[in-house]
Amino acid sequence: MQIGILYICTGKYSIFWKSFYESAEKYFLTNHKKIYYVFTDAKKIAYKENKNVIVIFQENLGWPYNTLMRFHIFNKNKKILSKTDYLFFFNANMLFVSSVEEEIIPYNEGLMALQQPGIWNKPREKFPYESNTESTAYIPPEKGKYYVMGALNGGKTEKFLIMSKILAENIDRDIKNEIIAIWHDESHLNWYLSDKEFKLLNPSYGYPDNWELPFKPKIYLRDKNRFGGHDKLRGIKITKSKNEILFKKIYFLKKNMAKFKAYSLKIINNFIKKYDNC
């Protein structure tokens, strides 16, 4: 069986790639053939010469588009990705620390996703689903049993690519209507899975650094603060003044508006508030 691993590391996120690859080779689905699809703008990538590494150029879209538009990236490359049997997307800062084998494959369900480690034991009313009824990611109160994290998801290639196409179209519709879902691609992923059967992975497969959870870690979510923090990795210049930081974020958003149509000032302010809570 051929397993496709989807890995996006544009900008400074390429610093995670080498150790991710080494850990996946050691611990992940060791009895199957793995192909790593690395979407990056980096000039140099470790193990690029290996036969199981395929580097695909991907422009650095900036924050939040590097995460929001990931389903567009997969959909755009569906021809090459369709050669695999299963596809699995991993956040750049993930690191395998223990064996992960057949239990991760959704043979019956078709799709799988990772339970959010911060709210894995919280009631439905605590889930941060998209609440804007105008967004295609909106989930009504009567729907949704779990809240999943965008850091790890996958499934049978055909089903995963169908999901990617639908979510890319939904995100385009939101952007046209000047809407960005509260947790970007994660909000849209939760919408898609809210009325479907899927394999749910517990937080062992996305165990944050320095947390204490009642699970044995299999995949770590490395703390981005140990690698310069979110702003540095996202390419946002860090300044001493909080006002300067907010100004830079506003400027960054305005600079990128032309690509995805302009947002109102109200939407910009709401987004900044959400960003600061990430």
Residue-wise pLDDT for 96-120, tens only, equals 999 999 999 999 999 999 999 999 9
Confidence at residue 263, expressed as pLDDT on a 0 to 100 scale: 45
Residue 100, C-beta contacts closer than 8 angstroms, at least 6 positions apart: 27, 28, 29, 205, 218, 219
217 and 241 inside one domain: no
Confidence at residue 233, expressed as pLDDT on a 0 to 100 scale: 60
Confidence at residue 250, expressed as pLDDT on a 0 to 100 scale: 52
What is the token pair recorded at 85?
């049997």
92 and 218 inside one domain: yes
How many CB atoms are located within 10 Å of the residue 247 CB? 12
152 and 192 inside one domain: yes
111 and 246 inside one domain: no
How many CB atoms are located within 10 Å of the residue 126 CB? 10
The set of catalytic residues is: 186
210 and 274 inside one domain: no
Confidence at residue 1, expressed as pLDDT on a 0 to 100 scale: 92
163 and 78 inside one domain: yes
What is the token pair recorded at 198?
């899927």
Task: Report CA torsion sign: 87, 69, 113, 276.
Answer: positive
65 and 91 inside one domain: yes
Confidence at residue 251, expressed as pLDDT on a 0 to 100 scale: 46
Provide the phi-psi class of 240: left if phi over 0, else alpha when psi is between -120 and 50, else beta: alpha
Confidence at residue 242, expressed as pLDDT on a 0 to 100 scale: 47
118 and 223 inside one domain: yes
Question: What's the pTM?
Answer: 0.82
Residue ending a domain, among 189, 210, 228, is 228
What is the token pair recorded at 64?
């939040």
Answer whether the bond into residue 64 is a cis peptide, omega within 30°.
yes
Confidence at residue 256, expressed as pLDDT on a 0 to 100 scale: 53
Residues of the chain with pLDDT under 50: 229-230, 236, 238-245, 247-248, 251-252, 254-255, 258-266, 274-275, 277-278
121 and 39 inside one domain: yes
Confidence at residue 235, expressed as pLDDT on a 0 to 100 scale: 53
Confidence at residue 72, expressed as pLDDT on a 0 to 100 scale: 97
Residue 73, C-beta contacts closer than 8 angstroms, at least 6 positions apart: 8, 39, 58
Residue 42 · residue 72 · CB < 8 Å: no
94 and 199 inside one domain: yes
Confidence at residue 224, expressed as pLDDT on a 0 to 100 scale: 73
What is the token pair recorded at 263?
């947002």
> How many domains is the chain partitioned into structurally?
2
221 and 272 inside one domain: no
Domain around 155: 2-228
CATH number of 183's domain: 3.90.550.10
224 and 241 inside one domain: no
Q: What is the pLDDT of residues 217-253, one digit of tens each?
A: 999 999 976 655 445 565 545 444 444 445 445 544 5
- In degrees and rounded to multiples of 5, residue 250 shows phi and psi of -65, -45
